[in-house]
Structure 1
Amino acid sequence: MVLAALAGASGRTAVAAALAVAVEFLVFGAIGTGVAALLKHPVRAGILGWVLAIALVAGNVAAVWALMPAVRSEDPVTVAINVKHGPFGEAVAYDCAPEAVGNAEIFHTERIMWLAATNPVVIFTMMAADTGLADGIPGWIPAALQSAGDGSQVPCVGGVPLVEDSMHAPLAAIGLALQGTLAALLLAAGQRSARRRLATAA
C-alpha cells in the first residue's frame, strides 16, 4: 500500500494491490513449500520452483500468444445495430442485423484466456475492476482483458447479439482457482513424498 501511494495510486487501488499481493504471497508460498517437500534435493527444488514461477508470471502469456493461430477461424458476421458502449468505449450490448455481410477473421480467445488468467497481473487487474477498486488503472485494460475472456472483440459473430446483463468469464476467479489447484496438488504430492522418505528411513 505504501508503494502504491508513493506511485500516486488512489487508496482504493492500494487496497486492491495489497489484497492481490497477500493472495499471491500465499499461493506462491504454498507452491514453494510443496516443491521443497516433493524434491529433497534443494537445487532441483529451486530450479522447479523458479520454472513454475516464471510459467505463472510470463509463460502463461507467452502460451496464449503462441496459441493464437490455433483459435483463428473465418466466421460469418452480421452488422451490429443499437450498440451501447461502456465508459471505456467497449460494446456492452448490441443487436444484430438479420443479413450476413460475409466472413471475418475471428480469434476465439475465450478458449485460451484461462491460461492468461493465472498471471498475477491479470488477477490483480480483474480483482480491482470486479471490486470497484481500480481507480488508478486505465479502464481500457480490464475492459480489453474481459473482452478477450468473453471472445467478444468482434460483434455479431454468427449473428449472436450481446445483452447488457450477459454473463462474463470470471477471469480473476478462474486464475485464483487454477493457481490454488496447482498449489494444492504440489502440497499433496510433497506430503506423500515426505511420508515415503520417512517410511524408508524408518
Structure 2
Amino acid sequence: MAGPEQDSGFEVIGDGVIDDRDRRRGPLPSEPAAGAGTGFVEPVSEAAAAAWADALASFRSWWFWLAGAAALGISWGLAAAVVAVGEANGWFETSVPTAVYLLMGAWLSIAAAVLGTLWGFRRPQPRMAGMLLSGLLRGVAFALLSGAVLALVAVAAGGPIALAGAAVVVVAVEVGLFGLMGAGCRACFAHTVPAAVLAGLLLLLLGMGNLAAAVLLLPGTMATGQASVPVNVQRDAAGRITAFECVGQLHTVEVANTDRVAWMAASNPAMIYSALGAGAVPAEDPSAWILSGLQWAADGPQRDVPCLDGESSANLPPSSPVVLTGLMIQGALASLVLIPGRMLSARRR
C-alpha cells in the first residue's frame, strides 16, 4: 500500500483563485496528515472536525460570498426575464411580482446544484462523511442567505413567505448532494478536464435534461381507458378533485399516464423545490396549483380522471412523495460516481 506521503490523486486547481479558501492558512483538508487512514470508514469526530475547518475556511473567503451573491443575482434576473416573456405572451394569470418570486426560488435550487458541484469538485476530502458534512455546512450558509433574500422578495411581491422556507431546505440539501457528485467526478480521473466534463454532463442531466425528457415524452403517455360515473365529488380549495364515489357502467375515456414520465423530472432541483413548496403554502393560494403540478402528474391518471376502471377514491393507492423520489435518484447518482471514484483514486496513490 502506498504511503500517505505520496500524491493523493487530486490536482490543485487555480491556487488562491478558483479554490475558495486561502492555502496559507494551512494544509487543505483533502491532504491527509501523516498517519491518516485512507479507508471509507473514519471516526465521525475527525470527519466533523475536518468538515468544519474546511467550511470555515470557505466562509472566510470572499470568493464564497461572491459566488453566492452572483447566484442570487442571476436567479432573480432569469426569473424576471422568463416572467417578462411570459407576460408578453399571456402565460401568467398570477401577479408578475409573485411569479418572479416563485421562479426565483426554482432558479436558486438549480444554482445550488451548480455551486455544490463546483465546491465539491474543488474541495475533495479524504473522508466520505467529511465530504457530505462540509457540503451541507456550505449549503446551510448559502441557504440562509438565499432565504433572507427570498423573504424580502416575498414581502415586496406579496407572495407566500413559506416558500422561502422551502427554498432554504432544498438549497442546503442540494449543495450537499451535488457536492458529493462533484467530488466523485473529480476522483474518477487523474486530470481535471475529463472530470469537469463528467460533472458538467451530470449537471445538464439533472438540471435540464431530465425535465426536457419528461416533457418530450409526455404526448406518448396518452391512451384510452375505462371509467364509470363519479358522484359525491369533493374538491380542495384549488378546485382539484380529492374524493368521489363511482356508479354506472364503464365507458371509454382518454387518459394521460403521466406517472410513467413524472419520475424523470422528480430529480430536477427546481421540481423538488416546487413539490416541497406545494405543501408549504395554503391550498387556496394561487401558487399551490402550479407548485403541486409534478406531484399531481406523479399520482397518475386516477387523480385526474375520477372513477378510472370504476375505482372510487377510497380504493386509490396513497401518493408517493416526489420529493423523496427525486432525492433518492440524486443520491443514487452521487453514489454511482463517488464510490467508484474513490476506488480509482486509491489505486492511483
TM-score (normalizing by structure 1): 0.87
Are the aligned partners of 1:34 and 1:183 in contact in 2 as well (CA < 8 Å)?
yes
Show structure 2 runs of 5+ residues with no match: 1-146
Q: Distance in 2 between matches of 1:90 and 1:137?
A: 12
Matched, 1:114 2:263: yes
Show structure 1 runs of 5+ residues with no match: none
Amino acid at match of 2:227: V
Counterpart in the other structure of 1:82: 232
Higher strand content, 1 or 2? 1
Matched, 1:5 2:151: yes
Give the CA deviation at 1:137: 7.3
TM-score (normalizing by structure 2): 0.52
Matched, 1:134 2:249: no
Counterpart in the other structure of 2:205: 55
Are the aligned partners of 2:266 and 2:294 in contact in 1 as well (CA < 8 Å)?
no
Are the aligned partners of 2:214 and 2:264 in contact in 1 as well (CA < 8 Å)?
yes
Q: Distance in 1 between matches of 2:293 and 2:168?
A: 23
Counterpart in the other structure of 1:30: 180
Are the aligned partners of 1:72 and 1:108 in contact in 2 as well (CA < 8 Å)?
yes
Are the aligned partners of 2:238 and 2:286 in contact in 1 as well (CA < 8 Å)?
no
Alpha-carbon spacing, 1:71–1:10, altered in 2? closer, same or farther (3 Å): closer
1:29 match: secondary structure: helix
1:40 match: secondary structure: coil
Between stretches 121-130 and 183-192, larger displacement belongs to 121-130
Counterpart in the other structure of 1:94: 244
Q: Distance in 2 between matches of 1:142 and 1:84?
A: 21
Counterpart in the other structure of 2:321: 170
Give the CA deviation at 1:111: 2.0
Between stretches 63-72 and 82-91, larger displacement belongs to 63-72
Give the CA deviation at 1:113: 1.2
Alpha-carbon spacing, 1:142–1:94, altered in 2? closer, same or farther (3 Å): farther
Matched, 1:147 2:293: no
Amino acid at match of 2:304: Q
Q: Distance in 2 between matches of 1:65 and 1:12?
A: 28
Percent identity over the alignment is 33
Q: Distance in 2 between matches of 1:47 and 1:180?
A: 20
Q: Distance in 2 between matches of 1:29 and 1:56?
A: 14
Matched pairs, number = 195
Amino acid at match of 2:291: P
Question: Per chain length, whose mean CA-contact separation is higher, i.e. which structure has more relative contact order (CA < 8 Å, sep 6+)?
Answer: 1
Q: Distance in 1 between matches of 2:248 and 2:214?
A: 33
